[in-house]
Amino acid sequence: MSEKRYQSVMLIDDNEIDNLINQKMIEASNICENIFVHSGARSAIEFLKNIEKIKHIDAMSILPEVIFLDIDMPLMDGFQFLDLFDKLNDETKEKCKIVMLTSSINPQDINKSKNYDYVKKYINKPLTQQNLVGLDI
């Protein structure tokens, strides 16, 4: 890929090695300018809340267009993140599209993710160039 489609994307995964591999995969695909990496869902939701608090007109341009979200994380899992994400303002929810990027093949997780309007895809790890090229959300 040569044309960047997104200003920024966010990775949320407690596994630092997965984050590093996924970050390198995203960089190689050249789909975005910036990658925000969070090793916990709590820090990611706080990041989004803090952007909402900025009163500068361009603050919302910082928001990632795509959030790759793991499900199974300690302290706050992916679904708890989604419940808090639902409380963010409409502009944030409109801009940020969520892709579940997980090792879970549990049909309950797949079905539960469909209950959230902003979850646009469910991808099993590892993230691949094919996943990124086909990422049309």
- In order along its 137 residues, the chain shows pLDDT tens digits of 446 789 999 999 999 999 999 999 999 999 999 999 999 999 999 999 999 998 776 777 899 999 999 999 999 999 999 999 999 999 999 999 999 999 999 999 999 999 999 999 999 998 999 999 888 88
Q: 18 in a domain, yes or no?
A: yes
pLDDT of residue 58: 79
Q: Residue 98 forms beta bridges with which residues?
A: 67, 119
- Distances in Å between the alpha carbon of 56 and those of 5, 12, 52, 75? 24, 26, 10, 32
Q: 96 in a domain, yes or no?
A: yes
Q: 1 in a domain, yes or no?
A: no
Q: 33 in a domain, yes or no?
A: yes
pLDDT of residue 2: 46
DSSP assignment of 73-84, as one string? -SSS-HHHHHHH
User: What's the CA gap between 69 and 38, in Å, rounded?
Assistant: 10
Q: 125 in a domain, yes or no?
A: yes
Range of the domain at 103: 6-133
Q: Give the tens place of pLDDT for each residue, 83-120.
A: 999 999 999 999 999 999 999 999 999 999 999 999 99
CATH number at residue 114: 3.40.50.2300
Q: 86 in a domain, yes or no?
A: yes
Q: 62 in a domain, yes or no?
A: yes
Query: Global pTM?
Result: 0.94
* Domains: count for the chain: 1
